[in-house]
Amino acid sequence: MPLKSTRYNPAALLLLPLAIMIAMPAAARTRHYYIAAEDSTWDFAPSGKNLVHCPEAAPCDIPEPWTNSHSFPMTRFIQYQDAEFKVPAPQPEWLGVLGPIIRAEVGDTVKVHFCNRTQETSAYNMHPHGLRYTKDDEGAHVFGANSGSPPGAGAQVMPGQCFEYTWIADKDSGPAPGEPSSKIWWYHSHIDEHAETNKGLLGPIIVTQKGKARRDGSPKDVDQEFVTAFFIFDKLAGEEQGLMHSINGYIFGNLKGLVVHRGQKVRWHTLAMGNEVDLHTPHWHGKTLKTGRGSAAQRTDVVQLLPGGTITADMKADNPGEWLYHCHVADHIDAGMYTTYQITE
Ligand SMILES: [Cu+2]
């Protein structure tokens, strides 16, 4: 019986590199971000209106004491597309006052080129939650109480100066097995932490599970991710008319752009920051959501946040309409901590 030919097929050989590329997880990347701290003015209600709830007849002005008290000086993290910090990077409308979303897939390195471009005399820095860093890249001005060690090199970035932070998205930065495929963390300035976050120096980091990320770092199994931060900014030393009960820096429905299409899988990352009054309970009308995966999954339409905390929940957007999205704490509703999201046909 003749032996079967074992000659190789040249065409198959040509396809081999492609097959290997498809089978292999994407190589770890180094992702560069150019971010500056800058002075700005922020309007928590640019329309001047309550765009969601109008118990009296129109015009639906922002109620007192905030009617004419919703625009204040802020300091914010602004992202640029280039190393010269000339071209600002576009940012989704719904991200509001927050700094840019810093993304990584587990295994990636994040390099943040940070410049303090404020006109003030204060130093600022960038401190990440969740990612791995050395002391120099901690971005926090603290001495070691036990060893007496000094703050790291990136602890103070004076106006006019820059620092390059190197942060690693290692396995422990990514989602655990019972969590969704991407995970949210805070970053913020950390010298006079409360004063600086209250000025607006805060933003999100999203880490996607290894092998589950698109090229831009977003999770492949989700159509749209939203980040919503619940934070009562105190702009007038505790006076009521300076307490901005905001979602991403907007009050009374002025947060716009939370729009998805019917059938999309939507991931909501919720965060809180602030003081003991910043216990928030984001509540979605119109749809329930799922936190966790597999046996850790729970169905809910309200999540519980404390300062510094984060919770991620997934929604199947199959109920078209425009739905209320608000903090469920009674005082916070009165102060305008709400907006709407929309599921289009
Ligand atoms: Cu609240």
CA of 336 to the centre of ligand 1 (A): 10
What distance in angstroms lies between residue 66's CA and the mean position of ligand 1's atoms? 17
Q: How far is the CA of 42 from the centre of ligand 1 (A)?
A: 20
Question: What is the pLDDT at residue 205?
Answer: 98
Q: What is the Å distance from ligand 1's center to 36 Cα? A: 29
pLDDT, residue 59, reads 74
Q: Is the pTM of this model over 0.85?
A: yes
Task: Check if the beta carbon of residue 74 is closer than 8 Å to that of residue 104.
Answer: no
Give 10-residue mean pLDDT values along the chain (345 residues). Answer: 47 55 69 98 97 80 95 98 98 98 98 96 97 97 95 97 98 96 98 97 98 98 98 98 98 98 98 97 98 94 98 98 98 97 97
Q: Tell me, what's the pLDDT at 168?
A: 98
pLDDT at 69: 97
Question: Residue 120: its pLDDT value, please?
Answer: 86
Specify the pLDDT at position 3: 44
Look up residue 190 and give its DSSP letter. -
Q: Output the CATH code of domain 27-344.
A: 2.60.40.420
Calculate how far, in angstroms, residue 276's C-alpha sits from the geometric centre of ligand 1.
11
Distance 81 CA to ligand 1 centre (A): 34
Torsion on CA atoms 78, 81, 84, 85, rounded to nearest 10:
-20
What is the predicted pLDDT for the residue at 196?
98
Question: Measured in angstroms, how far is the CA atom of residue 310 from the centroid of ligand 1?
Answer: 14
Q: What are residue 314's DSSP bridge partners?
A: 267, 290
User: Do the beta carbons of residue 81 and residue 34 sit within 8 Å?
Assistant: yes
Q: Ligand 1 centre from 88 Cα, in Å?
A: 31
Q: What is the pLDDT of residue 147?
A: 95
Q: According to the model, what pLDDT value does residue 32 have?
A: 98
| Per-residue model confidence (pLDDT) at position 55 | 72
Q: Which residues surround ligand 1, an ion (CB under 5 A)?
A: 280, 327, 329, 332
Q: Which are the contacts of 146, defined by CB distance < 8 A and separation ≥ 6? A: none
Ligand 1 center to residue 123 CA distance, Å? 30
How do the residues of the chain divide into helix, strand and coil, expressed in percent and rounded to 5? 10, 35, 50
Distance 50 CA to ligand 1 centre (A): 17
Q: How far is the CA of 314 from the centre of ligand 1 (A)?
A: 20
Q: How far is CA 148 from CA 114, 123, 144, in A?
A: 27, 22, 5
Distance 169 CA to ligand 1 centre (A): 30
